[in-house]
Amino acid sequence: MKDENLHWLPFLLQTADALFPTGAYAHSLGFEEIVRLGLVRDERSLGEFLHRQIIPAQRQHELPYLRFACEAARDGHLAELRRLDLEISAWKLAAETRSASAQLGTRRLKALRTIGDAPLLGAFDTLIARGTCAGHHLVVCGLQASVEGVPLEAALAAYFYQSLAALGAAALKLIRIGQDGVQRVLRAASMEANSVTPASLLVSRAHAGWFNPLLEIASMRHERAFERLFIS
């Protein structure tokens, strides 16, 4: 029988909404340079980019690491959360992407502590203040799910959608597509959560990871671009 207790849902919706202050609107995470290179030009190429470049990384890297963070947080394992945070730093080769991830994470953590602090949030914030970890967005999202009792698959689905939506929001500013076009692309891409989320649950710690030279190079190029609309 399904659990009908949805006490966690309002909080998840609040923190998944664009109104929640994470500063994500200021980052395209390398997508601005992807557009500059002509790899994404319209609705069709945006859909192909999400399907070929973003969704595989979500399945093999982002969602598994979010799961590891959720599990560590629910065990109250602060040292493991720190280890995961350091691993995520190592995975993000481009300095701009690494910095953006930490900025999003620390901003989300600050907002979470403002609306409902919890001891584990404070303890992780202390590690960041001491400089022993960066406070990456993935780890903070895992902490959030633990603090509010959000079911794992709901946390994974929310993160998956937010990752796609962030690129959709950037696309509105960077290409001629329009709201309707973005919504069609998001609808098609988000439907893949039905297969991506279960597949991500099968990825072990030893096999979690995804290297995409295209995204890394795009982020590095963006860092040195003559003009930029987004911070990263």
Q: How many structural domains compose the chain? A: 1
5 inside domain: no
Mean pLDDT of the region 98-106: 92
CATH number of the CATH domain containing 52: 1.10.4190.10
Instruction: Give the pLDDT confidence of 123-152 residue by residue, as tens digits.
Output: 999 999 999 999 999 999 999 999 899 999
Any idea what DSSP says for residue 59? I
Query: For 17-21, 110-114, 134-138, 158-162, which range has the lowest pLDDT when averaged over its residues?
Result: 17-21
What's the CA gap between 143 and 127, in Å, rounded?
14
35 falls within a domain = yes
Domain span including residue 192: 27-223
Is 225 within 8 Å of 96 (Cβ atoms)? no
Does residue 180 lie within any of the structural domains?
yes
Task: Give the mean pLDDT of the chain.
Answer: 91
Distance, in Å, from the CA atom of 17 to the CA atom of 8, rounded to the nearest integer, reads: 15
pLDDT tens-digit readout, 38-49: 999 999 999 999
Any domain includes 18 = no
Evaluate whether residue 156 is within a structural domain. yes
> Taking the model in full, what pTM does it have?
0.93
Residue 228 lies in a domain: no
* pLDDT at res. 29: 80
Cβ neighbors of 98 (< 8 A, separation 6 or more) are 89, 92, 134
So what's the pLDDT on residue 219? 86
150-203 pLDDT, tens digit each: 999 999 999 999 999 999 999 999 999 999 999 999 999 999 999 999 999 999
Angle value at C-alpha 23, between 17 and 85, nearest 5 degrees:
95
Maximal CA-CA distance, the chain: 57
